[in-house]
């Protein structure tokens, strides 16, 4: 018997929340014509070194009967996505190695034991906490959209990969902002898919004076994702540390050498404009995007906080019922609060934006991890202070310049930490 893996996500970096398909088939007629025939997947996952960290035994065993075409399709995304239980704020580079090992089993008679085939392993590949967009196709070697046969690999679904964001191309920052983005520097199918440096291009110095931030590929899961600064105030910012000297700047990754030569740029440029603060206090929001990393936005127009209280009451019995005479004191009440809880809400408004923020704010609406950066600082040295938020809005109207002219957005959040400390 010979089981064959006809499709797998091998040699790719994979989103954990989107389908992770393995497709296998069996060529032995005696096996696949048996009524007891099954495909078996032994699923392994681990952190650490890709080569030496694999456990001796699998953590999950999955079985499938063949479909009408005689294939077995295993989607292990539900198992894999359950591995990412820690928040992004706690662990900056959460990556697991995954490997599937496949074989078949069948009985020659109802009373016989299962006969098994030889095993065929997929080889390990990295997964991270994120999701693929529907229009990008399946995460598989041969899968994809019928209209274009795209593989669905991340490089084809994000203009900014290996920088782990969907943009937009043109963004802004204040001279008080800190912030970091992430870049995938790890396992890829070919050497050319791995970044060798990030180019920082200041508006005064120009690209010819750009600073290089080198990366080294590693087989350790904790080193597959690296963060880099997007603010002159960050401790490892490579150019002038005065935002007013830097002004506007651009970043992009290159995939060969240590200099931008005009042809080794990997992704679309991300442009940052230095803007002046408004008369209103700035509300800086960061959230986990579809790559499991941070995106930021400054909501620097009017914002409002509200304090909402919910009470439960009961009517106590007043009076001196255990005394010789029935009396009551003037401090006794017939209405008593016994539970008083509160929620803090904040409503924010954006400045005028370009259409590129539609994709960014879709991911804000879907994010399970959102923070208000109420004290600016770097997460590198722990000087930033954040408050967890949950978005209240359930509808997002996609705005365009043609229809809406000047585009602004408003969002309302409930703060995850109230006024009272309750365990």
How far apart CA 94 and CA 110 sit, in angstroms, is 46
Q: Give the pLDDT confidence of 317-363 residue by residue, as tens digits.
A: 898 888 888 998 899 898 988 888 889 999 999 998 988 899 999 99
Q: Give the pLDDT confidence of 94-103 residue by residue, as tens digits.
A: 899 999 999 9
Identify the structural domains of the chain with CATH numbers, from first to last.
3-141 (2.60.40), 158-276 (2.60.40), 277-423 (2.40.30)
Task: Name the 3-class secondary structure at 364.
Answer: helix
Cα–Cα distances in angstroms (integers) from residue 325 to residues 289, 318, 333, 398, in the given order:
69, 13, 19, 71
Query: What is the reported pLDDT for 181?
Result: 95
Q: Lowest mean pLDDT: which of 132-141, 205-214, 283-292?
A: 205-214
Q: Lowest mean pLDDT: which of 109-123, 169-183, 268-282?
A: 109-123
Mean pLDDT to the nearest integer, 393-419: 84
Mean pLDDT is highest, among 33-42, 171-180, 258-267, for 171-180
Query: What is the reported pLDDT for 274?
Result: 94
Query: What is the reported pLDDT for 145?
Result: 39
Question: Which one, of 61, 60, 76, lies nearest residue 23 by Cα?
Answer: 76
How far apart CA 126 and CA 12 sit, in angstroms, is 7
């Amino acid at each position: 018997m010979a089981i064959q893996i006809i499709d797998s996500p091998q040699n790719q970096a994979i989103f954990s929340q989107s389908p992770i398909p393995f497709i296998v088939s069996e060529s032995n007629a005696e096996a696949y014509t048996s009524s007891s025939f099954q495909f078996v997947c032994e699923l392994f996952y681990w952190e650490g070194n890709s080569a030496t960290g694999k456990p001796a035994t699998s953590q999950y065993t999955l079985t499938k009967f063949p479909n009408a075409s005689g294939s077995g399709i295993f989607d292990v995304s539900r198992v894999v996505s359950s591995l990412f239980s820690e928040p992004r704020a706690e662990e900056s580079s959460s990556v697991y190695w995954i490997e599937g090992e496949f074989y078949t089993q069948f009985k020659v008679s109802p009373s016989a034991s299962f006969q098994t085939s030889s095993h065929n392993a997929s080889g390990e590949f990295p997964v991270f906490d994120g999701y693929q967009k529907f229009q990008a196709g399946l995460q598989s070697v041969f899968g994809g959209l019928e209209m274009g046969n795209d593989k669905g690999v991340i490089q084809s679904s994000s203009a900014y990969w290996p920088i782990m964001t969907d943009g937009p191309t043109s963004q802004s920052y204040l001279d008080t902002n800190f912030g970091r983005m992430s870049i995938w520097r790890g396992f890829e199918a070919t050497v050319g898919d791995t970044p060798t440096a990030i180019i920082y291009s200041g508006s005064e110095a120009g690209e010819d004076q750009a600073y290089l931030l080198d990366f080294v590929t590693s087989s350790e899961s904790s080193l597959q994702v690296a963060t880099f600064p997007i603010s002159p105030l960050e401790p490892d910012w490579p150019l002038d540390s005065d935002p007013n000297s830097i002004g506007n700047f651009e970043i992009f990754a290159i995939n060969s050498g240590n200099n931008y030569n005009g042809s080794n740029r990997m992704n679309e440029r991300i442009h940052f404009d230095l803007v002046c603060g408004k008369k209103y206090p700035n509300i800086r929001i960061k959230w986990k995007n579809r790559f499991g990393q941070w995106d930021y936005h400054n909501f620097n127009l009017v914002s409002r906080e509200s304090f909402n209280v919910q009470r439960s009451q009961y009517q106590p019995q007043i009076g001196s019922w255990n005394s010789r005479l029935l009396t009551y004191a003037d401090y006794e009440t017939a209405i008593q609060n016994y539970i008083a809880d509160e929620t803090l809400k904040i409503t924010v408004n954006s400045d005028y934006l370009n259409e590129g923020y539609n994709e960014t704010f879709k991911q804000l609406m879907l994010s399970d991890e959102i923070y208000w950066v109420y004290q600016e600082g770097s997460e590198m040295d722990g000087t930033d202070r954040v408050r967890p938020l949950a978005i209240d809005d359930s509808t997002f109207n996609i705005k365009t310049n043609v229809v809406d002219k000047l585009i602004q957005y408003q969002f309302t959040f409930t703060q995850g930490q109230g006024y009272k400390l309750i365990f």
